[in-house]
Amino acid sequence: MSLLELQGVEARYGEIRALHGVTLTVDEGDFVALLGANGAGKTTTLRAVSGTVKTSGDVLLDGQKLFRRTPEAMARRGVAHVPEGRGTFSTLSVLDNLRLGAWVHGNAEPRELAHVFEFFPRLYERRLQQAGLLSGGEQQMLALGRAMMARPRLLLLDEPSLGLAPRVAREIFGVLGRKNETGTTIVVVEQNATLALEAAQHAFVLETGRVVLGGDAADLRKNESVRRSYLGY
Ligand code: ATP
């Protein structure tokens, strides 16, 4: 059964229609990339799932239609969303930011913290430092680490490589790949299509609020229009 299904999802911001009926399916354990030009609706698609934008159409988790999709309710169902811009608490320490990530379970478990530090040794070294003083790459690691503290089944990430040096972006995607291998389902919006299509198993291409193409990442890498529009060769 699919973990996540969007059926004809529409969303608008006032007069602006951002999604014109997005339909897509994500299987349990999948690693999915959402590609598309600026303004295609990728961010809004993630927001439609986590409940941070009002939508019509159906969003199903485990085949069940979700009616009350507040961010809190979605977090309790195992959906973690790392928005673009990271959203960590800059005046709190790295450790406190990570602890806050576990709010949905009450307290942060030492086991979970150890798990995050295993993925990101740099965060362990910086654990007592204020989050606002971290480098861009470290802040992205912290945002991801904080989301991992919630032990999500489904991790939604918006532009995790934005503004990062290529090596750091690869490091982040390496962690996502390892996390996916442990069973976490991942949906990532990513401008760096080369990186995204290397890491993902499946991908969807959005254009003006609709899915226009979808399939195996390996096949999409060979697709003429994907290569021309997103891979640049
Ligand atoms: P990008 O790659 O530039 O982040 P995107 O594919 O993620 O783009 P969205 O951010 O989902 O696209 O935006 C879809 C459409 O909705 C765009 O036309 C955008 O201008 C509009 N939009 C997004 N957020 C808002 C908002 N808060 N208020 C008004 N319009 C918005």
38-85 pLDDT tens trace: 999 999 999 999 988 989 999 999 999 988 788 788 888 999 999 887
What is the residue-averaged pLDDT of the chain? 92
Q: Is residue 104 located within the same domain as residue 219?
A: no
42 in ligand 1 pocket by Cβ < 6 Å?
yes
Q: Which atom of ligand 1 is nearest to the CA of 16?
A: 30
Q: Residue 21 in contact with residue 10, Cβ under 8 Å?
A: yes
Cβ-Cβ contacts under 8 Å for 102 (sequence gap 6 or more): 108, 109, 112, 149, 150
State the pTM of this model. Answer: 0.94
Contact criterion met (CB below 8 Å) for 148 and 101: yes
Q: Whose CA is nearest to atom 31 of ligand 1?
A: 13
Q: Which domain holds residue 74?
A: 2-78+152-231
| Ligand 1 pocket residue status of 39, Cβ below 6 Å | yes
Please tell me whether residues 156 and 59 are part of one structural domain.
Answer: yes
Nearest CA to ligand 1 atom 4: 38
**In-domain check, residue 119:** yes
User: Would the CB of 43 count as within 6 Å of ligand 1?
Assistant: yes
Residue 40 near ligand 1, beta carbon < 6 Å? yes
What's the pLDDT at 105? 78
pLDDT, tens only, 79-126: 999 988 777 899 999 999 999 988 877 877 888 899 999 999 999 999
Number of domains the chain is built from: 2
Mean pLDDT of 196-203: 96
Q: What are phi and psi of 157, to 5 degrees?
A: -130, 130
Q: Is the CB of 41 under 6 A from ligand 1?
A: yes
* 94/70 same-domain check: no
Cβ 211 under 6 angstroms from ligand 1: no
**Together in a domain, 168 and 61:** yes
Helices (H), 63-120: 71-76, 94-101, 110-119
> How far is Cα 43 from Cα 206, in angstroms, rounded to an integer?
11
